[in-house]
Homo-oligomer: A and B are copies of this chain.
Amino acid sequence: MTDNSDHDICETRCVHESVVNDVRERMYPNGLLLDVAELFKVFSDHTRVRILHALSFSELCVCDLAIALDMTSSAVSHQLRVLRSAKIVKFRKEGKNVFYSLDDRHISSLMQAGIEHVQEG
Known A35-B121, A117-B106: A50·B30 in contact at CB below 8 Å: yes
- A39→B118 contact, CB < 8 A: yes
A16, A36, A41: residue with the most chain B Cβ atoms closer than 10 Å: A36
- A50→B33 contact, CB < 8 A: yes
Closest 7 CB pairs of A and B: A41-B44, A40-B43, A44-B44, A10-B66, A40-B44, A14-B63, A35-B118
Q: How far is the CB of A13 from chain B (nearest CB, A)?
A: 8
A22 to B55, CA, bound (A): 12
A40 to B119, CA, bound (A): 14
Number of identical protomers: 2
| Contact pick for A16, options B15, B26, B64, B113, CB 8 Å | B64
A82 at the interface (CB under 8 A from B): no
Further contacts, 18 of them, CB under 8 A, given A40-B41, A40-B43:
A9-B71, A10-B70, A10-B71, A14-B63, A22-B57, A23-B58, A23-B64, A27-B50, A27-B57, A28-B115, A34-B49, A36-B43, A37-B48, A38-B44, A40-B114, A41-B44, A109-B113, A110-B117
